[in-house]
A and B are shown apart, each in its own frame.
Chain A
């Protein structure tokens, strides 16, 4: 392994890592919002919209991110919508992640027993109060492990961004390997950078899970 090469490539990887994290975080935030909205639609069985949500979830979960990105990147301009690769990346991640997050939130919401809502109503709470004070905190604790797993999964999926010519970590590594053939160093840096991004998320996630579990119940 040539450390001189690694030192030389480091700034390029740093730049790529910043892009990966930036787009990843944005995509995940949107995925969380979409997921929560979809889970609520399904939980409260909103007529018609819940069918649309169900269809979206099936399409989103059963097609690869690569194909979804191609649709957004090459397909949307054909109907007159032109966007930057960055927007495509975020949109693709949000589209894919939304369904995974929806399922995570839904399992959490469904795990809260009906009697909880009923006793909230019996204490005079309205639907909104029952949701925010009683259902959501319990659902969040159950949903936390799958949500954390999804966050890590989506961050890893950003490696597909190179397919729409985004200069992310994967793109940078492939690019450098193609030009200079320093395969060992390039792949080593790639692994290290993904670990730097993902390990803290993973550790933070398990801490959060434990905190939620011990603070409340079921421990």
Chain B
């Protein structure tokens, strides 16, 4: 992509009245002949928390993976601050560490203890001084209630503790946007709560986030915007109030009904 093209894109973004941090335009993703995401477009502004909901297998996680350049895309554009996130199938250097991601399965490095898990990337990628990163990491660990766990290995932690470490690890890279991919799906209810408290705290600090979740009450509490995807299409988009109290589409109503049990009583 030439410099002029990039300028064009930047202008386009500004014309649409957006200082959009992330913009996804007509994204198409296929695995072989199967289309997973079909013509997905949306924007995320700084400080916004976009919650993506939808039935399993609808392409939510794939969407996050595309944004994080872990998947190649077959059509459309994904831009962060006006610049494409992927170049030649890999994360582009200009985007580098600006996108952080936490996965559903615990993705901590099992051979490193908590503090080394957190400090590895800031030290090696951002070339920061270890003692500085470590001080920051300790501060953040304290904040998420994991003081004293610095020397523990991932296998010694509960699922909820691991996910909190994973969040701290992502935050120590100071991303501009954080992608959370069903981070509580493998946890039991109490642990879900402790992890979601941490995410709510991040939202209060103004962190821009893209969250895929099945926790509807959490989605409602944290979202500034909700988007529902079904069969690779955006079915509905709106404020949490609109979406949860008065969904416009039949598909969204049907989906939200699966979370209540009044109809089966």
Contacts and interface: CB of A to CB of B under 8 A. Distances in A.
Nearest to A123: B121
A124 B111 contact: no
Given A124-B121, A124-B173, A116 B100 contact: no
A125 B121 contact: yes
Given A122-B170, A124-B96, A129-B124, A134 B109 contact: yes
B70 A138 contact: no
Interface residues of B, number: 29
B170 A123 contact: yes
B155 interface: yes
B100 A122 contact: yes
A17 B153 CA distance: 44
Interface string A54-87: 0000000000000000000000000000000000
Given A115-B105, A124-B97, A218 B173 contact: no
Most buried by A among B105, B111, B169: B111
Contacts of B153: 216-217
Interface string B81-99: 0000000000100001101
Contacts of A138: 109-111
A133 B103 contact: no
Contact of B107 (A118, A124, A133): A118
Contacts, number: 68
Contacts of B109: 116, 119-120, 134, 138
Interface string A95-124: 000000000000000000001101111111
B249 to A, nearest CB: 33
B54 interface: no
Contacts of A121: 68-70, 91
B92 to A, nearest CB: 12
B97 A116 contact: no
B68 A122 contact: yes
Contacts of A116: 107, 109
A38 B121 CA distance: 28
A128 to B, nearest CB: 10
Contacts of B110: 138, 216-218
Interface string A166-187: 0000000000000000000000
Contacts of A205: none
Given A124-B96, A125-B125, A119 B107 contact: yes
A141 interface: yes
Nearest to A137: B111
Contact of B111 (A119, A123, A125, A217): A217
Contacts of A217: 110-111, 153-155
Given A123-B125, A133-B124, 16 more contacts: A116-B107, A116-B109, A119-B107, A119-B109, A122-B68, A122-B101, A123-B97, A123-B121, A124-B125, A124-B126, A137-B111, A215-B111, A216-B110, A217-B110, A217-B154, A219-B155
